[in-house]
Amino acid sequence: MEAFWDTSSVGGRLVTSAVLILLALALAPLAGRLATLRVHDTTNRYYLRKAVHYLTVVALLFALALLWRPFAGRIGLVVGLVGVGLALALQEVIGAFAGWISILTGRQFRVGDRIQMCDVRGDVLDITPLRTRILESGSSTDPGSWIRGRQYTGRVVSLSNRFVFCTPVYNSSTVLDHLWDELTFPIPYQADWHLAESILCEEARNISSTAEARSAIEQMRHRYPVAEAEVDARVFVRATPNWVELSARFVVPVRAARQVKDQVTRRVLDRFAEHGIRVASETQDITIYPPQASAAGAAPDSRR
């Protein structure tokens, strides 16, 4: 106790510093629990607990600065030089910390949002002062992904927060929580593509989350001056040299896109089969006619 209250010597300050650090480590979890007793929302509890921990660290650093202030006159030059060196060496760290402030103040994304940053897609698990952790999801367009859909791969990816300044950040759930998706079928010209269009349009309307998306867009328009978006399911027709391309456009929830697309694909294929409509493919139909007999009645030549 004498060493703890002795702040005039280096040894006494070291003991006091150690005690302060131990008290901060013990009080931070307790303060976090007390601060979140009456908070029921999981996200708000998470952010409040984080804020209490960071405030504890700031208070500890402030107390240590007051404790060691009498020695500042002797080591001020050394601390200044070390600070300059650290600023040059820790540019990435400083950029990551600035990115963390930008994420919190700019509301680019929060824990639980589905985002894409630096070609990494997934749900945000944690946001620390230096890194953002993302539970990765697959992609049907990325050749490096073995999951061919918007479902979890099981990997957790950590990205530096500084990337919010130099790369685009795509957020799929912060405003709408819905996506526009497309399902394309090539139909041969010989088939009844009008009937195929009707079947595809009907199934797309049945599966589309039109009402939910329209409500979300109306709420978004109260905050942002955006034009009214079309959310009704539609089928677009395009003629190609090989077939008639039918593309159904519909709205799906962000986290159920693959399941919805699977359901509508199965239904459309079953109904096409019932009506004898086949799906075209990149093949060639070759018709071979037998050689004509000669005027003298010679046998036809079988060579080709």
pLDDT of residue 75: 54
Residue with tokens 């630096």: 118
Q: What gap in Å lies between CA 224 and CA 174, rounded to an integer? A: 13
> Token pair of 96, please?
């990551």
128-131 contacts at long range (C-beta below 8 A, 24 or more positions apart): 128/100, 129/54, 129/96, 129/97, 129/100, 129/161, 130/93, 130/96, 130/97, 130/100, 130/160, 130/161, 131/96, 131/158, 131/159, 131/160, 131/161
Largest CA distance in the chain: 129
Kindly give the parts of the chain with pLDDT less than 50.
Answer: 295-296, 298-304
Phi, psi of 258 (to 5 degrees): -70, -40
pLDDT at 302: 44
User: What's the CA gap between 254 and 261, in Å, rounded?
Assistant: 12
- Write down the pTM of the prediction: 0.62
From CA 9, how far away is CA 109, in angstroms rounded? Answer: 48
What's the confidence (pLDDT) of residue 218? Answer: 79
Beta bridge partners of 114: 123
Amino acid, single-letter form, for residue 152? Y
State residue 239's pLDDT score: 92
Predicted pLDDT of residue 266: 93
Question: Nearest to residue 103, comparing CAs of 91, 89, 92, 117?
Answer: 117
Nearest Cα residue to 149 out of 158, 136, 159, 167 = 136
Tokens of 121: 């897609």
Q: Rounded CA gap, 180 and 195, in Å?
A: 24
The span from the CA of 209 to the CA of 135, in Å, is 25
| Nearest CA-CA partner of 213 in 261, 249, 169, 259 | 249
pLDDT at res. 132 = 93
- Encode pLDDT of 100-111 as tens digits: 999 988 888 888
> What does the pLDDT read at residue 173?
79
131: left (phi over 0), alpha (psi -120 to 50) or beta: beta
Q: How far apart are CA 122 and CA 215, in angstroms?
A: 25
**Amino acid in position 112:** G
